[in-house]
Structure 1
Amino acid sequence: MRSFLALSFLMCLSVSALAQEGRPDVLPPEALPPSLDDLDAPTTEVEPPSGPAPAVTDNETPKNELDGLFTELAKVDSDEQARPLVSRIQRIWSRSGSPTVDLLMMRAAAAMQAKDYALALDLLDVTVRLAPDFPEAWNRRATVNYLREDFGRSMVDIERVLALEPRHWGAMSGLGIILRRIGCDDEALETFRQVLKIHPVSENARKAVEDMEKAAAGSPI
């Protein structure tokens, strides 16, 4: 996935640079402004799951538990079946193991909701330094950079998320959205197809794949 990301990024930089006068991190004038609603969960989830996280036993490490949950998620064919699995995965992903990091993440979430992206970015810069192996901190910062229309830095953060957790469908969806916005539809389509292999009932990914496949076939969207 990392090699696919790097290749997509390098290919699309040249395309978007030509389309956007040498500034690949800026949307073309005709594009819609970015929104949190564009991004698939848990990228959009700026509030941590409520309630205490269940205790982890010696026989049920987060890694082992995640492996089992993703195996089950890949088999679902309805949102009803997926919802408890997705919730559990997001809960595990939200565990930083540090009260300080948790507090910084909560404050960054509040800043994002207030659309104070500069403050959110400052908080998350500190967070990723304190917890460089915590994927959700990088994922949150990728979202902030996306909302600031700094697509280059957002993709760098997404690469870090996927290096730590290759099954992070929210980060992958964010990558697909960026690739689509800068005109790299082939790479975006492949990215969303990868999302559906992990999270088969992701509505955002399904809709993106349908739209792009229709466009590629010459049908009206």
Structure 2
Amino acid sequence: MFAIPFFLTAALAGAQPVPDLGPETEPPSAEDFNPLPEDLPEEGGQVVVEEADPHEEQSRLDELYSDLAKAESPKAAEKIARKIQMMWLESGSDTVNVLMSQAGKAIQADDTALALDFLDVVVTLKPSFAEGWNRRATVFYMRQDFAKSLVDIERTLALEPRHWGALSGLAIIQRRLGFDKEALETFKQALKINPSLENAFKAIKDLEKDAAGEAA
């Protein structure tokens, strides 16, 4: 199981919200909270998700992750990554899907409090749904509540250790707190899973340059 290092939670203890502590790497924004993809069919105002065999679904996901890591071009990687992200959104619950969509609309309207209300219900109804925890972690980050964001990132990665979005979020928080060495390793881990992450690639270059400068 994935565990957030103690030094991060200790660094945040008793300091909420945390002020601006350093450089960013494309922090989350409203664009990360689009409603469910338009190509998922709707019926009677509710999102309909086809029943899928969990074992077949996991096998398909493993295959996509393998293909992603070996992608021969950024365009190919982005296409595969999109398929994985579509699978991340498949909660298996019509109610959860609707709540996720409403949370997306709320954050696009800059109403993070309402988004949290929806996402609180999502993680209560479907605690095994990694993307629910990930999206709530992102909203907490946007509200500068890094401690709660870290807790939800840990839950996301416990359910899906290959979630590059959650890993990137962890790396951004590590970097903001000044733990550059740890941030570098986390960004590398995310990039290894998804080689199309341009922001992670740039962050790695910047962090390696900074480390080289300090060593000189």
Normalised TM-score (structure 1) = 0.84
Offset, 1:61: 1.7
- Check the 8 A contact 1:16/1:24 in 2, yes or no: yes
CA distance in 1, matches of 2:209, 2:53: 49
- What is the correspondence of 1:178-197 to structure 2 with a 5 Å cutoff? 178-197=173-192
- Check the 8 A contact 1:133/1:164 in 2, yes or no: yes
Compared CA separation, residues 129 and 78, structure 1 to 2 (3 A): same
Offset, 1:78: 2.1
Compared CA separation, residues 90 and 150, structure 1 to 2 (3 A): same
Compared CA separation, residues 24 and 59, structure 1 to 2 (3 A): closer
Offset, 1:97: 1.2
Pick aligned residue for 2:40 from 52, 59, 71? 52
Cα shift readout 1:141-166 (whole Å, capped 9, x = no counterpart): 00000001000000100011101111
Pick aligned residue for 1:213 from 199, 208, 212? 208
- Check the 8 A contact 2:22/2:178 in 1, yes or no: no
Partner of 1:109: 104
Offset, 1:98: 1.1
Normalised TM-score (structure 2) = 0.85
Cα shift readout 1:46-82 (whole Å, capped 9, x = no counterpart): 3322212796776982100000000011112421111
CA distance in 2, matches of 1:79, 1:193: 16
- Check the 8 A contact 1:39/1:173 in 2, yes or no: no
- Check the 8 A contact 2:28/2:142 in 1, yes or no: no
Q: Which amino acid aligns with 2:179?
A: C
* Larger mean Cα displacement after TM superposition, 78-87 or 190-199: 78-87
Partner of 1:64: 59
Percent sequence identity over matched residues?
Answer: 49
Partner of 1:134: 129
CA distance in 2, matches of 1:200, 1:55: 30
CA distance in 2, matches of 1:131, 1:57: 17
Unmatched segments (≥5 aa) in structure 1? none
Q: Which amino acid aligns with 1:195?
A: A
Q: May I ask how many residue pairs the two structures share in their alignment?
A: 206
Unmatched segments (≥5 aa) in structure 2? 42-48
Q: Which amino acid aligns with 1:172?
A: L
